[in-house]
Chains A and B, each alone.
Chain A
């Protein structure tokens, strides 16, 4: 047993001795090319998947940042609003981990743009139904920073009167789709007057600003000051429909949720972390994109494995005579196989290190600074270090196997046939 271990270690040492010299005194062009291919393969493995996942992760992040916060409290099914809202807000504001909370009044209504000229016979109605949200602009900004996403005009301020901020997807210029499911207002912009009807009450508003966050929950809504909406809806009990909560850095949403449940908040409202509140299509897309990423990654891995297999096989075949000589002078087959496996290890390691440098030194900072402009998110490159290292490790193992098999195939050939080139 000990002798076998000793022989194994000697073979490893000889394999290393030969591998170093083959790399050092081999063709630099070939070595550079192989390393380049390995780097690209690694990047293919990480970046394609990273962009796909990053795309949907960004959508998810947008939803969290601009809509749900870290926790969202919403109306129970079969209820029209959150009962006991003032008490619940008091409980929320007394929790130590909470940085800010924004209560929202939410109602369904209709917006009309051409109500003043509609009597002309050839004109069709320019109106949409919409979710209308009443907010306290300061509290909303403290949680969601919605004001920073105003792309035209200005965001609401606390003292605003009959003004409205529209989500961009309520306007045809931002959502040019002609479909019954996506009704939009035409020819409406900053300064336009629109008429809003809720619960039979109608009032005229001036368009003050337009928001675009790429979160549908926001971009398909219409925002007014909460006092105005409360009056319009006739809701005088201060019962809100949503409360989005922002936590202090490092505070676990699940812990805060548990704390709120301890106060029986769930008797009056639905308490969800941002992940739980994520729309189902986002969850489905996450799973789909992760699957796609894995499929593409697997293809990349197979390509890398085949590439290194071919490289090592060609190398071993062209050196078949020398492999025969090595066996002829008494070098163990294991040592020869080690030399090829170690060469593969070298190519893969340097390729992966180079790939990591390109990824974290170039691509990641670039995509963070210049996200890809997708309709529903700002696509960033999702490449967490741990996951990336795991992919690197998988590539390394695949490469080692791909280096070992051709070496094994060539080494097992008859020694004399190899020496004589038969």
Chain B
């Protein structure tokens, strides 16, 4: 499903060039739940931004379902993100002036669905993660865990090919984090491909495969073909 070859991403700090990803290779199969771990500043989130098409690498190739996504123009990339990817941010990234239902509806409406259909799908996604009674609540009226669940509902409502989750439990307490992880595992059981960045080993261990990002490359002891860890 995801093929990454020789991915390079660097940043400039004044005249100094900081190479974060060094000819990184990666394979993710359809239906796989993988976690990317590493020390703080190792480039986990940077890798996720490249995979989720939120950023553009210096060089390399990313194929998603054999589509060379780096060759897409900005508009095509936005549409690709809208239709094929779901993104869960560390800080939930909900729109403050929209209630839970509207936050989930928005990308569905952008896909051209009717308001009724978008609402039905949003309600279904929110009910699935136990937020049925809080459809009308604004983000400010929800707890951190609830906001993250709304964020998950928004990411899954349109049935994306891949869900990218950037430290989804970083701002949550242990109990709430477990609820979120349980929900990821349920999605995984339903065949959803999930790529999750986390720095917490106990959550990484729940995934199919742990990819340790170190020194700009992935230390995947099982090999890039992705055998069960």
Binding site for B on A (CB under 8 A): 6-7, 10, 13-14, 17-18, 21-22, 24-26, 322, 325-333, 335, 414-416, 419
Contact = CB atoms under 8 A, between A and B. Distances in A.
B207 to A, nearest CB: 23
B82 A416 contact: no
Contact of A416 (B54, B81, B154): B54
Nearest to B105: A17
A326 B96 CA distance: 12
A325 B93 contact: yes
Interface residues of B, number: 25
Given A325-B89, A329-B106, A332-B110, 10 more contacts: A7-B112, A18-B98, A22-B97, A24-B97, A327-B78, A329-B87, A332-B75, A416-B54, A419-B54, A419-B93
B95 interface: yes
A10 B112 contact: yes
A25 B95 CA distance: 11
Contact of A14 (B87, B93, B97, B106): B106
B10 interface: no
Contact of B110 (A26, A322, A328, A331): A331
A419 B89 contact: yes
20 contacts: A6-B112, A10-B109, A10-B110, A10-B112, A14-B110, A18-B98, A24-B97, A25-B97, A25-B98, A327-B78, A329-B87, A330-B79, A330-B85, A331-B110, A332-B78, A332-B110, A414-B55, A416-B49, A419-B54, A419-B89
B83 interface: yes
Nearest to A331: B110
Nearest to B80: A330
A325 B93 CA distance: 6
B54 A415 contact: yes
Interface in B76-121: 78-79, 81-83, 85, 87, 89, 93, 95-98, 102, 106-107, 109-110, 112
B138 interface: yes
B114 to A, nearest CB: 10
A105 B107 CA distance: 85
A326 to B, nearest CB: 7
A355 B139 CA distance: 36
A328 B87 contact: yes
Interface string B155-198: 00000000000000000000000000000000000000000000
Contacts of B154: 329
A18 B95 CA distance: 10
A21 B49 contact: no
A328 B75 contact: no
A333 B83 CA distance: 16
Contacts of B83: 330
Given A10-B112, A419-B89, A322 B82 contact: no
Given A21-B102, A22-B97, A416-B49, A330 B55 contact: no
B110 A325 contact: no
Nearest to B95: A322
